[in-house]
Amino acid sequence: MIRRQSLSVLTSFVGRRKPFLFPACYRLIKNRLFCAPAPKPLVAEAIDAVTRLELRVNRWPHTLGLSYIWLRDHCKCPDCYDNFTKQRKLDIQKVPLNIRPASTKTTKEGLEIKWPDGHKSEYTYKYLWQNTYEGWNASYKNPQRLWKAATFPSPQLTTVPLSDILDPKKDGLKRLISSIIVHGLGFISEVSPDVESTRAAVETISPVRTTFYGTVWSFEDNLERADTAYTNIYLGAHNDTTYFTESSRLQVFHCLKKAPQGGETLLVDGFSVAEEFSARHPEGYAFLSSAAIPSEYIGDGQHMATLDTVLKHNPATGCLQQIRYNIYDRAPLSSIPLEKIHEFYLHMRNIGKIVRNPAYEYWLQLEPGTVLIIDNWRLMHGRNAYSGPRIMGGCYISNDDFTSKARVLGIQIN
């Protein structure tokens, strides 16, 4: 209110004309009214704590402890690091574990260190903050927005026309990948309903993953493969390819021909389920985060098998990174000892109740021309039973290819 009143007084005083009698006074008042305060000058202090360096920067929320051997190992000079190949040249085996600098100096740009052998290293403050465990964890903000059926994200947030993706000026690909990271899914509209057009749209992200299903596939209820997807019966919510050592990160669906009746797609935010499961059954959450469960695919000349937990976490941050829930592809339960069998079935029953709770189930009818891409490490999917002809196309994308593309586009991803 004060600023608006001051602006009104100033405007009425000078009118619409340029103030020529008191320009200095005018600029001073204008700057105070409209300009953000100038950032405080950067002040840094480096303190030798014998085994490490304590670096204080007044723009950081806390002091950063830096191990001396870590600092020596992270020198980016041409002798220690190849800036073309982005690979280290320094032989860490030759660096003493108890190395200490001969001198340290803070500047406006960063930290300068001179080592006992005369070698000099320089580090920007930004690099030190972003690439240490303490700095990264203090500044990282999880972009994911968990949802339930009632809070499913709107098309305006998740749908990108193919024309926007192909036009670099419209930033369409970045918007699509951001939607997948934030909401767990994204749609590409304006795609011709055929396999090759689907491939072309998806390959704007990365090459598709080749599996024993092929690259880009189409399927209908003909049992062409030993998979329940090749039927027309109901499929409950699940994650795909849990029988792979690394489950496919992205799964693509394109309804090439819609069934006359039924065939709606089911989506469940597995991280939202896990959050509720952790709150209601913490002992079950701990069990499914530690007990390895066998999964397998048998058929078509294949016998894929793996052993992994239902809930997987980032080994550094402890944040949930993947859910591997699939009641169809479970192998014989040979990994759980007798005394824990009852506990396993109890916890699977409890998480299953949340997965099947209608509050978490979002149903939609996929239409020819719109490609759905889901984060298979987070979202579960299913399908309603249907009758009549229905053709679904799709493919997979690996975790490495997806996360690489996100980083290249400057999108933060855990």
Would you say 128 and 66 are in contact if contact means Cβ atoms under 8 Å apart?
yes
C-beta of residue 162 within 8 angstroms of C-beta of residue 370: no
Provide the residue-wise pLDDT of the chain in tens; the chain has 414 residues.
Answer: 333 333 333 333 334 444 333 444 445 444 444 455 667 789 999 999 999 999 999 999 999 999 999 999 999 999 999 999 999 999 999 999 999 999 999 999 999 999 999 999 999 999 999 999 999 888 888 899 999 999 999 999 999 999 999 998 999 999 999 999 999 999 999 999 999 999 999 999 999 999 999 999 988 776 665 667 778 889 999 999 999 999 999 999 999 999 999 999 999 999 999 999 999 999 999 999 999 999 999 998 999 999 999 999 999 889 999 999 999 999 999 999 999 999 999 999 999 999 999 999 999 999 999 999 999 999 999 999 999 999 999 999 999 999 999 999 999 887
| Axis-axis angle for helices 2-14, 23-34 (nearest 10) | 150
Q: What are the φ and ψ backbone dihedral angles of 395, each rounded to 5 degrees?
A: -170, 180
Instruction: Read off the pLDDT of residues 154-210 as tens digits, 9 standing for 90 and up.
Output: 999 999 999 999 998 999 999 999 999 999 999 999 999 999 999 999 999 999 999
Q: What is the pLDDT of residues 295-338, one digit of tens each?
A: 999 998 999 999 999 999 999 889 999 999 999 999 999 999 99
Give the pLDDT score at 140.
81
**Spatial separation of the C-alpha atoms in residues 226 and 288, rounded to whole Å:** 28
Specify the pLDDT at position 209: 97
- What is the C-alpha to C-alpha distance for residues 237 and 228, in angstroms, rounded to an integer? 13
Question: How many residues belong to the chain?
Answer: 414
pLDDT reported for residue 2: 36
CA distance 47 to 150: 53
Pairing of strands 235-238, 371-375: unpaired
Choices 3.40.50.300, 3.40.30.10, 3.20.20.70, 3.30.2020.30: CATH for 44-139: 3.30.2020.30
| Domain boundaries 149-408, CATH class | alpha beta
DSSP string, 100-163: --SEEEE-SSEEEEE-TTS-EEEEEHHHHHHTSHHHHHHH---------GGGPPPHHHHEEEHH
At 77 the three-state DSSP class reads coil
> Which parts of 169-327 fold into alpha helices (H)?
172-183, 195-202, 270-280, 282-288
Check residue 36 and give its pLDDT. 56
Q: Where are the domains of the chain?
A: 2-34, 44-139, 149-408
